[in-house]
Structure 1
Amino acid sequence: MSKIISGIKIPDSAMARQAAELVRQHESELLFNHSVRVFVFGAMKGAREELKFDPELLYVAALFHDLGLADAYHTPTKRFEVDGADAAREFLRSHGLSEPKADLVWQAIALHTTPGIPEYMRPEIALTKAGVVMDVVGIGYEEYTAEQRAQTLAALPRGDFKNEFVQDQLRSALKKPQTTFGTLNVDFIKHFDHSFCHLNVCTLVRDAPWSS
C-alpha cells in the first residue's frame, strides 16, 4: 500500500503497522481497502476544514471500525460496532496508550453508524463517521475532487463493494438480529426478508409496567 494516497500520509509507526496487520488478518481485501479509504477520506476532510486531529488515532479507528463483522471478533449480544470498538480499545491499551485516547477511538467506532451525533463530537469521531458515509453512501462526494477520488480508488480499489458490503452486513445482522433494534443495521435484514418482525418502540412504551 502506498505511504501517501492523494496527499494523505498513511501512518507508519510500529503501532499503526501492527494495527493494519491485525485487521488485514481478519478482514477481506475489500473490507480492508474500505477501512483505509475511510481514513483517507476522513483525513482529507479534516485537512480541508483545518481541523486539529491525531492522524494515528483516526487511522486506528478507521481500520477497526468494521472489525466487529469478522468472526474472530463477533460476540452474540453486542452490536458489531461495539465489538470493533472493544477490539480497538484493547489493542491501544496493549500499546500503552492512555485511557482517554483509547476511549476516543472506542467512541469513534461505536458511533460510526449513528446519525446526527458524531459530527458534533471530537474531530477523530466526526472524521471517522465522515469517511464511512463518504465511502459507503457517497455523502460529501462532491466535496472531494475527481482527482482525489480517482487516486484513492487507484490505491485502494472498491471491487464489487456495493454487493459484497451489503452481504457482509447482512451476515452479521442475521447472527444477532436483536442487536439491530434502533439501528441502521436492521435495514440489512428488512431489505432481504420483508417478513422480519423487529421490536417497535411504540409497543415497548405501551407494554411498559406503568399504569399510564
Structure 2
Amino acid sequence: MASPIQELPTLPEIGITPPSSSLAVRAFVYAKQHCTESVYNHAIRSGYWATIIAKKLAEFRDNANLDLEMVFVSCILHDMGWANTPELLSTDKRFEVDGANIARDFLLNEKRHAEGNLNDATIQRVWDSIALHTTASIARYAAPEVALTHLGVTADFFGPNFPGPNGAPLISAQEYHAVMEVFPRAGFNTEGFKQIMCGLCRTKPATTYDNFVSVIGRKYGLDGNGEGKEGYTLAWEESQTQLNNFLVLGLDELEESHDPK
C-alpha cells in the first residue's frame, strides 16, 4: 500500500514550491479519493500553472495580499463537479456549481476540525473561484484569486502555447515538461475531455444549455460519437427560445400592465 502523501512535490528545476500547508495536501487527498487520475492530475497541474503565472504577471506578483494557498486549493478542487462519487453531485446544477459546493463543504469541515486561517470570506472566495473558473469574461476581472485560478485551469489546456499579455508564452516548455513528468495527463486529452462533457449532456442536460458544454453536446452528441445529437440540439434550441420569451414577455407584461402610461 502506498504511503499517504505528506507534501506536494517541489520542482526546484523550475523554481516552484507549492503551498506547504497540510490543507493543500488534504485537498489533494480528497480529490484523489473522489476523482479519476486524469481529473485530479489535471486539477493539481492547474495549481502549479497558477503558481508559475503568479510569478510572471505583475498583477499577481506585486499583490502582497494574494492568497496563493487558496488559489492552489481552489485549483485542486475546481473539478470536483466531475467526481465519480455520485452522492457528492447534484442532478440540477452546473458542474462548476457542484464543484464549488463540494469545495465549500470540504473547507467548512476543515474549519471545524483543523487549525488554520479559514474564515467565511476565504471559503466564499474559493467558492467564487471554482464557480467562475470556466467563465473567462467574468473571472478574469474578478478578485485576484478568482482570476488566477481561472488562468491556472486554462493553462492546462494550452501549456507552452498559452500566451500572456505581450504574446509570449506564460508557461515555458521546461516548466511544462517538469510539471507533466510528475503529474502526467493520464487520459486528459481531447477525447477524454469530450467524454466528460458529453456525459454531462447525457446525465443532466438542462445544466448545459446556457454554457460552453452545449457546444460540445451539439457537435458530438451524448456519447462523443454523435449519438443523440439531434435530440440534444432540439432541446437546446427550445431552451434558448424559452429564455428569450421569458425575458421579453416579462418586460412586455410590465409595460402593458404596470408601467405608467
Aligned residue in 1 for 2:141: 120
Q: Residue 137 of structure 2: SS of its match in structure 1?
A: coil
Cα distance in 2 for residues equivalent to 1:160 and 1:28: 10
Aligned residue in 2 for 1:148: 175
Cα distance in 2 for residues equivalent to 1:186 and 1:205: 17
> 8 Å contact 2:43–2:76 — kept in the other structure?
yes
TM-score by length of 1: 0.90
Aligned residue in 1 for 2:157: 136
**Two-structure CA RMSD over aligned residues (Å):** 2.0
Q: After TM superposition, what 4+ stretches of structure 1 lie above 4 angstroms from structure 2?
A: none
User: Which amino acid in structure 2 is aligned with residue 21 of structure 1?
Assistant: V
Cα distance in 1 for residues equivalent to 2:25 and 2:136: 30
Aligned residue in 2 for 1:8: 16
Cα distance in 2 for residues equivalent to 1:56 and 1:204: 39
Deviation at 1:7, TM superposition (A): 2.2
Cα distance in 2 for residues equivalent to 1:180 and 1:58: 26
Q: Residue 90 of structure 2: SS of its match in structure 1?
A: coil
TM-score by length of 2: 0.75
Q: Residue 82 of structure 1: SS of its match in structure 2?
A: helix
Is 1:54 matched up with 2:81?
Answer: no
- Whose RCO is larger (CA < 8 A, sep 6+)? 1
Is 1:165 matched up with 2:193?
Answer: yes
Output one character per residue of 1:166-201: Cα deviation in whole Å (capped at 9) or x when no partner.
212221332111011221111231121231221444
1:87 pairs, out of 102, 106, 112, with 102
User: Which amino acid in structure 2 is aligned with residue 119 of structure 1?
Assistant: R
> 8 Å contact 2:77–2:103 — kept in the other structure?
yes
Deviation at 1:202, TM superposition (A): 4.7
- After TM superposition, the structure 1 = structure 2 runs for residues 176-191 of structure 1, keeping only pairs within 5 Å, are 176-191=204-219
User: Which amino acid in structure 2 is aligned with residue 112 of structure 1?
Assistant: H
Deviation at 1:107, TM superposition (A): 0.3
Structure with bigger gyration radius: 2
Output one character per residue of 1:20-55: Cα deviation in whole Å (capped at 9) or x when no partner.
111101111111110011111111111111413222
